Structure formats: C-alpha cells, structure tokens
Structure 1
C-alpha cells in the first residue's frame, strides 16, 4: 500500500552482474508496507542477464522500474549513481544496493523521518554465506535474516519505530559509519553538491565523501537506528586496489571543507534540473 506524503520517492538500487541477488532486492521492494514512487536500477555495465531479470520483475514490482545502464569499463559506481540520480523523478532518493534485502518497513521508516535540510544514514545486517545461499535458493524470511546475522550486526535486525525516530537526531552523527547501501537524500541537495565525485573509481569512500561534502555545505545528518532494516547478502570481497587513493580524496574533502566536486552529476542534467 502507499502512504500519503507530500513528496515523491525514488528507490535507487546499484548493481553489477548479480541478477540472482538483484532479484531478492526487487522482491523485497514488492513486499514493502509503503511503496516508493519508482525504482531506478543503476547498472554499472552488467550483461544482458540483468536486463532480462529487470524486465521479468516489472510484472511483480508494483511501481515503475527504470534501468539506467552504461558499458562495463571497470568499477564506476559514482558515475552510474550520478546517471541514475539524473534520471530519477523522485524528490527524495532512498539509496541501496542490489545485494540488499530490504526489511518490509524500509521505505516507511525512511520517509517517516525525512526532513528538508537533512540526509539519513542507516545500518545493515551482515548475512553469512550459508544463509545467503539459502535465501538465493529458497527466498528470504525474517527468521533467516534474524538468525543469519554476523559480525556483531544482530542488533541491526530489530525494528522499534518510536525509538528509531527518537534517536534519529540524538544518535552519534559524526558520519563515521556510513553505509552506501542504506542512505537517503533530497535530490536537490545531491545536485547542489554536484552528486557523487567521479574521480573516485574502484571500491571505497564514495559514500563517505559525498556525505561529508554535503555536511560541509550545511546539510545535517540523521542516523536511522531500529528501523530502515537492510540485510546484506554475502559475497566475496571486491578489490581494494583503489581504496587508498579514494580515501585521500575523502580526507581532502573533510579537511578542506569542500562542498562541491568538479567531476560530478552536472554533465547529465538538462537546464531545467
């Protein structure tokens, strides 16, 4: 069902060549108690199998799905997210990844604390390889999500709505534990910061860098705890070859108070945006 609200919502889902994982993500969208207005899949160069999966899921997910794709030229998450944000119709962007199963109230919890001048950072539940295999083969259940948690993330599987709302402005807001798979922004704030920094390529730091750039520009951040639950399906680690270089860009943003990147979303926007 949809809850009445005075703003439109886009759920942005990043993916790359994991159609079986993406299927679970999109199935979890269909189970939401409150739906987004659209889903935009930011596809960093997947093969045709992902396109076919998205086409098949359009009959299951009860909101429009946009598929924003570019050719595979390496890990270009910042670039494809910018292209997806440029294509998004929603005023509010909920961001996740295509290896995440969303809790049923993910959209409801995020939109309940949406407030102009603020971005939101959430948490995730880490699932192990055996639990992930069962979910991919047999589907998700809250039992599997609850008892498959690892790395001390068990508490992130609990939803207490009133407590999450209460803590959102009181929890540690230093943005030291930023999860790109569970974030929310106003689209106009993203555009003001020029979106993701496309000088950041390969794994790491793109999410923390954009949050600090927006904070430098005056956007405050809330932390969504005990709500907006996101279950992270296990997969092998990605290459960290670019992590140090990306962290250097992130550090420069923080220390120099940078509010807008040069190599960002503006190249994909028309004059009306």
Structure 2
C-alpha cells in the first residue's frame, strides 16, 4: 500500500462543534494525498459521532485514537498518534484550527531535510468563531480579510497572515521578530527526527509542552524554518480551564533542563527508559 505524502495529527478534547469545522477545512485541501490522525485526549461520545460522520462522507483516510480522560495529557495522546502514522512527514495542529485550502500543500512544499516548519495561526473572537458556516469554509470566506472585517473583526497587524503571498510572504517570514518554535497549533517535521528525540515529554501538562520537543530537535541539529506567514489556519475561540500555575512551573523547569543540558532525548517519551 502506497504511503500518503503526510499525516495530519489533530489533537482534540471535547470540542465537537469546532472539530467539525476543522474537518470541513481538510475537505477543501488542494493537496489530497494525506491522512488524518485525530489524537483525542478523552472526549465524550459527541466527538466520536462527529468523527464517524466525517469518515463516512470523506475520501480522506481517518484514524481516531482515544485515551481515557485523566486531565490534560496531550503529550501522551500525541505520542500514541505518532506510533500509528503511515507517512514519513507529520503535520501537527489542533482541533480548533481551521486550515486554509493550501495548508497541507504549503507544508509539503516548504519541508526540508534536517529542519522543521514553524507555522502561524490567526485568532478569531468568539462571535466570529460561532458564525463560520460549512459554506464559509468551502468558499474560504473565513480567511478573507474583508469578510472578517464585515463580521466585526478589529483590524491589527496580525491580519497580514491572511493577506501575505509572494514577496510580502517571504519578507514577513524573513524579518519577523517572532522566534520560530515548535508550536502544536501549526508545525511539521520528519517522523524520523521526532523518533530520534523520542517524541513529547509525557511529564508535561499545558504550557510549552509542544515547544520543549522542538527545543530537543534544535539541540539535535534539526533547525526551525519560520513560515508563520505561509502556513495559515484560523484559530477558533475557546476557554482554557486546564491551565494551571503549578503545571506551568513544572514545565518551565523541564524546559530549563532541556536547554541547559542540551538534551536531545527524553526518557519520558514514546519509548520509556
């Protein structure tokens, strides 16, 4: 059986309405040779129904991997997802990020050996997130600056993410002051590199848990490519009840150790040592 060109790993937790919109976004992709792995951190039956309905209607291969709800354990479910992918190139995103139609295509065009891609996202307020319909995604209106402004979006510099093509896209990627990092909402890399660093550190809860793996990749010599004005998705509004100060402190300490020790491998990843 032929491998797909890429695997899109979508993390989710009890956001079925948002996930449905995100999956619509993948139906609109210009590049069709990819699979979807939904990494589900313990969602209820409503999320499964959304996924099953999508699988019955879509030609895109979809795998749904689920674990019991035991608090925020995104790193654990992502490691499980990595183990079941069929491709050599992995795109990571979240179940509240609708991809623009060129999302997968651009990830594949910009990929390079010994590198990972650091993408962007454009945050939407709650009222626009709710207002986006299936048709708005099909017609790509939710990525159109004028349509968003007509819905009450307040304009700011970040809207350039939605309007940058060609020279402007290159210029902003090249001269942005934002550091290229492994941000789980929109990033990609080679499976072989991710396995070398042993995936995500499963001790980590919410707060920089994605970036820590990117820091190990950099320590290994896998360099980040800034592509925040090329790899576009819109981020739907949601609350973060799982955010807590204690976990953030632990995560900061783990990241501090990764940087100071120049760690390239975690004992708490895909392979347990």
So what's the TM-score if we normalise by structure 2? 0.87
Distance 1:95 1:84 in 2: 10
Correspondence list, 1:11-50, <5 A:
11-50=8-47
Asked if 1:266 corresponds to 2:271, the answer is yes
How big is each residue's C-alpha offset from its partner over 1:74-133, in whole Å with a ceiling of 9 and x where there is no partner? 100000000001111110001110001001100111100111111010111000011011
How big is each residue's C-alpha offset from its partner over 1:33-63, in whole Å with a ceiling of 9 and x where there is no partner? 1124210000001111111111100133321
Which consecutive residues of structure 1, in runs of 5 or more, have no partner in the other structure? 1-5, 268-273
Distance 1:169 1:36 in 2: 29
Asked if 1:207 corresponds to 2:204, the answer is no
Correspondence list, 1:83-94, <5 A:
83-94=80-91
Q: Is the 8 A contact 2:18 2:95 kept in 1?
A: yes
* Larger helix share, 1 or 2: 2
- The aligned counterpart of 1:187 is 191
Asked if 1:220 corresponds to 2:223, the answer is yes
**Which has the higher mean CA deviation after the structures are superposed, 142-151 or 221-230?**
142-151
- The aligned counterpart of 1:115 is 112
Distance 1:124 1:111 in 2: 18
Q: Is the 8 A contact 1:78 1:206 kept in 2?
A: yes
- The aligned counterpart of 1:66 is 63
Change in 2 beyond 3 A, CA 1:90/1:171: farther
**Which has the higher mean CA deviation after the structures are superposed, 121-130 or 247-256?**
247-256
Correspondence list, 1:68-217, <5 A:
68-135=65-132, 139-140=136-137, 142-145=140-143, 146=145, 147=148, 148=153, 152-161=157-166, 164=169, 174-175=179-180, 178-201=182-205, 203-217=206-220
Q: Give RMSD over aligned pairs.
A: 2.5
SS at match of 2:7: strand
Distance 1:94 1:162 in 2: 25
**Which has the higher mean CA deviation after the structures are superposed, 214-223 or 150-159?**
150-159
Distance 1:156 1:149 in 2: 15
Q: Is the 8 A contact 1:20 1:136 kept in 2?
A: no
Using the TM superposition, give the Cα deviation of residue 173 of structure 1 relative to its aligned residue in structure 2, in angstroms.
8.1
So what's the TM-score if we normalise by structure 1? 0.87
Change in 2 beyond 3 A, CA 1:160/1:266: same
How big is each residue's C-alpha offset from its partner over 1:19-38, in whole Å with a ceiling of 9 and x where there is no partner? 11100111000000112421
Q: Is the 8 A contact 1:120 1:183 kept in 2?
A: yes
Using the TM superposition, give the Cα deviation of residue 169 of structure 1 relative to its aligned residue in structure 2, in angstroms.
7.1
Using the TM superposition, give the Cα deviation of residue 166 of structure 1 relative to its aligned residue in structure 2, in angstroms.
7.6
Using the TM superposition, give the Cα deviation of residue 247 of structure 1 relative to its aligned residue in structure 2, in angstroms.
1.6
**Which has the higher mean CA deviation after the structures are superposed, 73-82 or 29-38?**
29-38
Change in 2 beyond 3 A, CA 1:218/1:80: same
Q: Is the 8 A contact 1:178 1:208 kept in 2?
A: yes
- The aligned counterpart of 1:3 is none
